[in-house]
Amino acid sequence: MPSEVLVAIIAFAGTAVGSVGGVLASSRLVNFRLDKIEDKLDKHNHFGDRLTRVETILDIKEEN
């Protein structure tokens, strides 16, 4: 096998491994960020429930 072909195969393998590694790292980071955004959204969505409970507690205290 000529040395040029061997060098080309090694370069291709390095490029492929680097590209796949970059895609996987980027995917992991995007998933991590989406999880954090979902957590914040869940906290925001439960704000109405918490506010209703506080208003109920305050109404009970005002009646006494």
* Chain centroid offset of residue 43 CA: 16
Specify the higher pLDDT residue, 32 or 54.
Answer: 32
- The confidence score (pLDDT) of residue 45 equals 83
- The confidence score (pLDDT) of residue 64 equals 63
Residues across the chain: 64
Specify the higher pLDDT residue, 55 or 15.
Answer: 15
Structure tokens belonging to residue 55: 């208003």
Distance CA 22, CA 10 (A): 18
* Chain centroid offset of residue 7 CA: 38
Distance CA 39, CA 52 (A): 21
Specify the higher pLDDT residue, 58 or 21.
Answer: 21
Query: To which H or E segment does residue 14 belong?
Result: helix 3-45
